[in-house]
Structure 1
Amino acid sequence: MGTAESTLASRAARAPILPLALAQFVCSFAGTSTNVAITPIAKDLGTTVSGVQTAITVFTLTMAALMIPGSKLTDILGRKRCFVLGLFIYGAGALLTSLAQGLPAMITGYSLLEGVGSALLIPPVYILVTVSHRDVRSRAKFFGIVSGAGGLGAAAGPLVGGLITSSISWRATFGLQLVLVLLIVWLARSITDTPVARPRPTFDVEGAVLSAAGLVLVVIGLLETRTYGWFVSRADFSIGGVVILPKGSMSPVWLYFAAGAAFLVWFLGHLRRRERRGRAVLVSLRMFSRRAANLGMATQFAQWMSMQGCFFVVSVYLQQVRHFDAITTGLILTPATAGILASSAAAQRLASRRTQRTLIIAGFVLASSGMLLLLVLVRPHNDILLTVPGTLAFGLGVGVMLTASVNLVQSAFPARDQGEISGLSRSVSNLGSTFGTAMAGSVLVAAGIHLKDGRDFGAALLVLLVFTLLGLAAAVFIPRERAATGATALTHIE
């Protein structure tokens, strides 16, 4: 009987992983598949490439602004309810975008509805995995599946999106997202969740506004680096027709950063005041009290920056220098995808043999080695197969460290804090993704994206490598883990 009950419990724990992994896949896929269809979308909707890029930017901004508030809502509405609600909103956005006849409809559907849906459904994915598996090793297996699905979605986005756009239409890409969302809603019936606590916590509206304002301004600053550069402004910065900073002066991106930082400092002060009064807050300050979790989030930032930035740079190189189309570019990136999937699939086995700290360090070493191989081996006239060692090593490293970092951060807090830490962790990862593409894009734009001899590509990749090594340095300072004291231990971190 004991064996039968154990088997049933194991099956019950595994049941939700498919809808959760598919949800992560869809959101990651949406973030990269649209990039290869910018020109067809602009032509079909009667707008400009800049207009479509604006829609993509607003999608990023919406997620950045709402990830933490969306996570807090899981404590108020319930994890499964938030997950399903996010799916319905996301699906409505995909449907509207697939039928869009102009840019405003696309911004409403893709940028706003899909952005809001992502902010609601992504935090429950990580919360449900954490609370469903009580020890770090079993979590590693399922975080590996989710991380692998996310990596697959990000890497497959250009290939699948390019293939569908070329053979059918860009609208079919959003139609595919809608079909997957409906499938996930049906599969989500298998998800079980604990009842919402009574009385329900209140929602910190002022905190949500302050955090959203701060994050939005930071993200806008990152995205504006492509226009103005990081230090010296490449163009006049005007407000209402009045030139505030002329070309050649300080880049205005630092004004955005300063304003964003001011709002975030205001946000922290707001949290401190409310906690002293015993009132509900958007994020408890104790979420910043664990050294291991803080360093884990620093590694998450570096990992997502490295992954998204590297995929962006390599894709630009392959299309601008080697003149490959989107489909071929996606195929060339397949070794990276395979590496992510292979190392993610081995996550549980690796976690049973090595600590999360060791795995994060190993992942950074592998990813850095892959980037170095790309810098050394890839040349404009070399055999394209020489990209395989670098992209494969990079993918293996990313898969190892993504899973381990998520496991480290989520496992550092008990079940009651999972709503807060999940949103904070996802927000950090989202900022890392944005920072990676903004940094890489800024370097390429500074060089005019000529890339005739690959030097600009190398410069961008070298900048990303420096930040990857900084992530490795943060990983080295993660506290060493104690031996597990029991199968139900929530954390093994000192």
Structure 2
Amino acid sequence: MNTFPQASPAPRPVHKHRTAALALLSLLQFLIAIDVTVVNVALPSIGAQFGADAAALSWVVTGYTLVGGGLLLLGGRLTDLLGRRRMFLLGAALFAAASLVAGLAPSLEALVAARFAQGAGEALASPAALSLIALLYPGPEERAKALGVWGTISAGGLVVGVLLSGVLTQLLHWRWIFGINVPLAAAVLLLTPVLVRPDSRRTRTGRLDLPGAALLTAGPLAVVYGVLERDVPAVVVGVALLGAFVAVEARAKSPLVPLSFFAHRTRAVANGATVLLSAALSATFYLLTLYLQQAMRLEPLQAGLAYLPFCAALLAAISQVSRLIGTLGTRRTALLGLALTGAGLAWLARLPEHGSYAADVLPGMIGVAAGMGIGLVALQNAALQGVTEHDAGTAAGVQRSVDQLGGSLGLAVLVGLAAGGAAQVSGFRAAFAWALLGVVIAGAGMWALAREREVRTG
């Protein structure tokens, strides 16, 4: 996949509306990011309405990220072949329609299906938006600034999603967490033809790796279903489908991910560490939300406000990452992020049955937030190390996919472990302990990379 523009014989003139176009493209990404976290505080209310337990509710979270992550690489390929503006509009329309269906869903099954469709909309729109930004800002420095704006707005969406969930759930109804997307996405659809140039009429040729995309989506879905339902055959089928994905990619003429891409050790380890860190972060959001509302008896609005320190720590950490990388290097900065996350998880692994927010929740929450802000950005940089114009799009797509799929698979496994506890909070403690083990393994991999580099340069 290559979401960056191909070289052209003559430079394109500067788009007179490109600042407005950047804001528009970022707005949809903001909505997409919001929907990753906006459901968390609303989950107990959704569960109460539909009579769903924690395992069933986790599909409301994982359904979105599983389908989005599984189809993201295919979305990038479709963008290259069929046109950037066209695929952006199609993805935005699908996301808007799915949001409307989610807000009106009469059952949990209908809600989960709508979340699947939202994920498919994201998989089409996000790669197209990145490519459009690259066309609008062709210079390396101005493109870096534009992508920085896009990334910052996306991170802001994750933060706003947590707060918005509590406000809308308590003051209006949980259905509004999806309904609010509809008018904003409609505005994107109306303004895109005005602010974004039409796609080039140049014919694009190439193959679509549809079997690979189907296997990469169906495999994780089967694994998650098997884990949550304690269905061993389903897990086996899911693992077999993922194995088939590797076999298909090895033989495909135009694979979604050339297996040679993972021959670069730093990229491979960084992507593996991202899976484990994302798993821990997704589980923390999910389980802490349930703990705040079910064990500590907070109202949805109170639970949303309880995440304010988390949001502040996350944004503060993100603001310091570039400085830390300049001082410590990418690998050691990633290690710092993993260490902070591990410290936070270790604190949360001792949650009492009826704890205090200030003493039992807040310290762990701050550690995880700081580790998330530093660790994920540093790992993203490591996963893009050594890329060229030829494989930059593939590297970015792989990193986004492992982030989302790792979070979904990890959440399913850890929620399954939590559900297996003798009591609810003891199950939470076990899940946080397993998440900590995953982060320690990720840290060991990055530490080995850092030591290897020191030996080579020393």
Same fold (TM over 0.5): yes
Q: Among 323, 334, 347, which residue is 2:297 paired with? A: 323
Given the alignment of the two structures, is residue 462 of structure 1 paired with residue 440 of structure 2, yes or no? no
Given the alignment of the two structures, is residue 415 of structure 1 paired with residue 415 of structure 2, yes or no? no
Q: What does residue 369 of structure 1 align with?
A: 343
C-alpha distance in 2, partners of 1:143/1:216? Answer: 31
Contact persistence 1:36–1:162 (CA under 8 A): yes
Q: What does residue 456 of structure 2 align with?
A: none
Q: What does residue 392 of structure 1 align with?
A: 366
1:134 Cα shift? Answer: 7.8
Given the alignment of the two structures, is residue 90 of structure 1 paired with residue 95 of structure 2, yes or no? yes
Q: Secondary structure at the match of 2:398?
A: helix
Q: Over residues 132-167 of structure 1, what are the superposed CA-to-partner deviations in whole Å (9 max), with x where a residue is unaligned?
A: 68879985x777665655555445434422321222
1:8-407 equivalence runs, <5 A: 18-19=23-24, 21-38=26-43, 48-49=51-52, 58-100=63-105, 106-107=111-112, 110-124=114-128, 139=144, 149-185=153-189, 199-222=204-227, 224=228, 227-228=229-230, 252-253=231-232, 255-274=233-252, 279-375=253-349, 380-382=354-356, 384=358, 387-407=361-381
Q: Among 434, 446, 449, which residue is 1:475 paired with? A: 446
Q: What is the one-letter code of the residue matched to 2:428?
A: F
C-alpha distance in 2, partners of 1:390/1:64? Answer: 28
Larger mean Cα displacement after TM superposition, 389-398 or 15-24: 15-24
Contact persistence 1:148–1:341 (CA under 8 A): no
- C-alpha change, 1:73 and 1:372, in structure 2 (3 Å) is same
1:363 Cα shift? Answer: 0.9
C-alpha distance in 2, partners of 1:371/1:142? Answer: 34
Q: Secondary structure at the match of 1:265?
A: helix
Q: What does residue 434 of structure 1 align with?
A: 408
1:383 Cα shift? Answer: 5.6
- C-alpha change, 1:136 and 1:215, in structure 2 (3 Å) is farther
Q: Among 422, 425, 448, which residue is 2:399 paired with? A: 425
Stretches of structure 2 that go unaligned for 5 or more consecutive residues are 1-12, 454-458
Q: Over residues 169-219 of structure 1, what are the superposed CA-to-partner deviations in whole Å (9 max), with x where a residue is unaligned?
A: 233222212233245556767678996985422212233333333233233
Stretches of structure 1 that go unaligned for 5 or more consecutive residues are 1-7, 229-251, 483-494
- C-alpha change, 1:312 and 1:119, in structure 2 (3 Å) is same
RMSD, matched Cα: 3.9
C-alpha distance in 1, partners of 2:134/2:384? Answer: 7
Contact persistence 1:137–1:348 (CA under 8 A): no
Contact persistence 1:137–1:352 (CA under 8 A): no
Contact persistence 1:359–1:404 (CA under 8 A): yes
Q: What is the one-letter code of the residue matched to 2:170?
A: S
Q: Secondary structure at the match of 1:433?
A: helix
C-alpha distance in 2, partners of 1:330/1:405? Answer: 28
Contact persistence 2:420–2:427 (CA under 8 A): no
1:303 Cα shift? Answer: 2.0
TM-score, length basis structure 1: 0.75
Q: What is the one-letter code of the residue matched to 1:260?
A: G
Q: What is the one-letter code of the residue matched to 1:114?
A: Q
Q: What does residue 232 of structure 1 align with?
A: none
Q: What is the one-letter code of the residue matched to 1:266?
A: A
Q: Secondary structure at the match of 1:170?
A: coil
Q: What is the one-letter code of the residue matched to 1:32?
A: T
- C-alpha change, 1:137 and 1:378, in structure 2 (3 Å) is farther
Q: Secondary structure at the match of 2:218?
A: helix
Identity over aligned pairs, percent: 26
Aligned residues: 437
Contact persistence 2:95–2:118 (CA under 8 A): yes
Q: Secondary structure at the match of 1:122?
A: helix
1:364 Cα shift? Answer: 0.9
- C-alpha change, 1:427 and 1:271, in structure 2 (3 Å) is same
Contact persistence 1:371–1:465 (CA under 8 A): yes
Contact persistence 2:276–2:439 (CA under 8 A): yes
Contact persistence 1:69–1:423 (CA under 8 A): no
Q: What is the one-letter code of the residue matched to 2:376?
A: L
C-alpha distance in 1, partners of 2:186/2:212? Answer: 33
Q: What is the one-letter code of the residue matched to 2:239?
A: A
Q: Secondary structure at the match of 2:298?
A: coil
Q: Over residues 367-415 of structure 1, what are the superposed CA-to-partner deviations in whole Å (9 max), with x where a residue is unaligned?
A: 2222334446877344635533332232122111212222332354223
Q: What does residue 5 of structure 2 align with?
A: none
